[in-house]
Amino acid sequence: MMTRASTDAAPEAGYNFAYLDEQTKRMIRRAILKAIAIPGYQVPFASREMPMPYGWGTGGVQVTASILGGDDILKVIDQGSDDTTNAVSIRKFFERTAGIRTTTHTREATVIQTRHRIPEETLQEGQVIVYQVPIPEPLRFLEPRETETRKLHALAEYGLMHVKLYEDIARHGHIATTYAYPVEVAGRYIMDPSPTPKFDNPKMHRMAALQLFGAGREKRIYAVPPYTEVRSLDFEDHPFHIQTFKDPCAICAATGVYLDEVIMDDRGGRMFVCSDSDFCEERRACGHRGSMLAEAPAALTGGNTHA
């Protein structure tokens, strides 16, 4: 798998390579292996306190710390971008504690830690994508009790979820879930894809890369092995649809990608640009030009400040 021997050259004095001690990493790797063996099943693990707050990616950070080797190349994104503050902070954490190479290029990375997005670029075999998960339980807002939800999963009793989706259709005419849209993995477990927009759900289906999910506060790890069936829940007469955008990216002209709405002024001016900043930059480097490239603020077109 992806666990290569750690180098013993830890750059941050007093801490082990990638912060966690080796026993903890072993414990987490065992949980990861179990998660891979039972796709979509939430494996409890003895989540550690991390030097960043719960809810800010401690689960993802622990998974990443446990699988990183000295020759891995790490990419960290939040909201699709390498330059959002929390992504910068987590990337710096691993630069400091593991001394490994980092990158913003999706293709170059061996491990990608993400919050809320899957990169637009198709992930490849050998890559691992680590999702930060706030609430791993897809049934949580239908049933607050863990004792109950574990039972429901054990019995594959997912009627609650289907009723919820049906009620959405009855009330709104469509399923009113736009992110953290539930999926069925390998025909068995219903899984929360983490709060990615449902736009990204189809990318999880038969993805070539290994998908790992870490929830630190809730102490759960789950996984989707490469090339696993991931089906977004729907009904025959109400098939699953992803969001589409009317116009292409205003600065790189990409279509079929997820766009962020950027408010330009206080008079209703706005533009839509790629959420995946690396994807957008590469397209512009290849000469693609969006309709508003000239007038876009430098904070968007200047790309990331990270070398």
Partner 1 sequence: MYVAVKGGEAAIDNAHRLLAHARRGDPSVPELSIAQIAEQLALLVDRVMTEGSLYDRQLAALALKQARGDLIEAVFLVRAFRTTLPRFGYSEPVGTARMEIRRRISATYKDLPGGQVLGPTFDYTHRLLDFVLAANGEEPVPPAEADVPQDEGGTPRVTDLLDAEGLIEASSAALDGSPVGDITREPLSFPAERDLRLQALARGDEGFVLALGYSTQRGYGRTHPFVGEVRVGEVEVEFTPEELGFAVPLGRITVTECQMVSQFKGSAAVPPQFTRGYGLVFGQSERKAMAMSLVDRSLRARELGEDVVAPAQDEEFVLSHADNLQATGFVEHLKLPHYVDFQAELDLVRRMRAEHERGQAIPLSEAAE
For 159, the enclosing helix (H) or strand (E) is helix 159-172
Near partner 1 in 122-161, by CB under 8 A:
134, 145-147
Interface of this chain with partner 1, residues 205 to 224, rule: CB under 8 A: 217, 219-220
> Using the rule CB under 8 A, is 46 a contact of partner 1?
yes
Class of residue 131 by CB neighbours under 10 A (exposed 0-12, middle 13-18, buried 19+) = buried
Binding mask 158-197 for partner 1 (x = CB under 8 A): -----------x--xxx-x-xxx--------------xxx
Cβ-based nearer residue to partner 1, 268 or 287: 268
Q: Which of 225, 245, 288, 291 binds partner 1 (CB under 8 A)?
A: 245
Contacts of residue 33, defined as CB under 8 A and 6 or more positions apart, other chains included, come to: 1
- The Cβ of residue 146 has, within 10 Å, a number of other Cβ atoms equal to 15
Residue from 47, 64, 211, 301 binding partner 1 (CB under 8 A): 47
For the CB of residue 126, give the shortest distance to partner 1 in the complex, in Å: 26
Determine how β-strand 111-115 pairs with β-strand 259-263. Answer: unpaired
The tokens describing 285, both together, are 């480097």
SS3 77: strand
Q: How far apart are CA 127 and CA 139, in angstroms?
A: 29
Return the range that interacts with partner 1 (CB under 8 A); candidates 47-55, 101-109, 121-129, 183-191: 47-55
Q: Where in 78-107 is the site for partner 1 (CB under 8 A)?
A: 78-81, 83-86, 88-89, 92
- Catalytic residue numbers read 40, 249, 252, 274, 280
